[in-house]
Amino acid sequence: MNDERLAHTFVELADTLVDEFDLVEFLHILVDRCVELLDVSAAGLMLADSHSRLQVMASSTENIRLLELFQLQNDDGPCLDCYRTGKPVAHPDLTHAHDRWRQFAPAATQAGFRTVHALPMRLRTQIIGAFNLFHTNPHQLDRSVTRIGQAMADVATIGLIQERSLRHHETLVDQLQTALNSRILVEQAKGVLAERRGINPDEAFTLLRDYARRHHHRLTELAAAVVDGSTTATELLSITTPPPPSSHPPRRG
């Protein structure tokens, strides 16, 4: 892996920590960079809610079927093991893991994944979530992947605490609930935008992030504006605004 790219990524993340910080956007950048740097096929970051259920906060893919792979790890899987033990969990070839994880392993291999890592998100003694990495090839258990992946998970935890320092007297439980709620707000905004623009929610998400970045809005605040229909989001919601060149043509349902 390229040391310069790695250094550049950490600088980028550090910059984001101070400049117009938005937790959901931050975690998405982190997850996207991970996929590039670590050369994995997919990555997902999960936080535990008040029921200790792991909820996806950011994922390198919006593919529903792949998101399900994260969700179903509340029954069995490397993330659940990692969350419970606080230790990294990995497997070099999921085709041989069907006994160990009866629900997760078959689903993951069917989706095309062979190698999996789960790294703990740790805040002092408490495990608050897990960082999940997938590869379509087996035996991709590179030690540097584990090391850098863990560093990324630690940076994600710092991001969460950063949000906390912006508010006063908030407990960690409150903090996690707020983070999870921000994610829900983004999902609602994706739905509103998808319906208004005649596109699917994945495309809507790309539009949202691009617009937020170009106009220097916090992603969560823009999402709130989209749902509330406030003026900040007028241009974005307007169907007469041509979508940016990178998106697909609108689909009429």
For another protein, the binding residues (CB under 8 A) are: 50-53, 56, 64, 67-68, 71, 74, 167, 169-174, 177-178, 181, 184-196, 200-201, 223-224, 227-228, 253
Closest approach, Cβ 142 to another protein, in A, equals: 31
HSE toward the beta carbon, residue 62, CA cutoff 13 A: 11
Closest approach, Cβ 237 to another protein, in A, equals: 9
Closest approach, Cβ 196 to another protein, in A, equals: 6
Structural contact between residues 30 and 155, judged by C-beta atoms closer than 8 angstroms: yes
Closest approach, Cβ 221 to another protein, in A, equals: 11
Nearer CB in complex with another protein: 29/185: 185
Q: Which of 153, 137, 154 is nearest to 39 (CA)?
A: 137
Closest approach, Cβ 46 to another protein, in A, equals: 12
Nearer CB in complex with another protein: 61/140: 61
Nearer CB in complex with another protein: 26/83: 83
Structural contact between residues 101 and 21, judged by C-beta atoms closer than 8 angstroms: no
Nearer CB in complex with another protein: 23/37: 23
Residue spans of alpha helices (H) in the chain = 3-18, 23-38, 64-71, 78-85, 104-111, 143-166, 172-197, 201-214, 219-228, 234-237
CB count in 10 Å sphere of residue 246: 9
- Give residues with Cβ within 8 angstroms of 143, minimum separation 6: none
DSSP string, 231-248: GGGHHHH-TTSPPPTTSP
Whole-angstrom distance, CA of residue 142 vs CA of residue 138: 11
Closest approach, Cβ 143 to another protein, in A, equals: 32
Nearer CB in complex with another protein: 143/168: 168
Give me the residue label for tokens 């609930």.
177
Nearer CB in complex with another protein: 111/172: 172
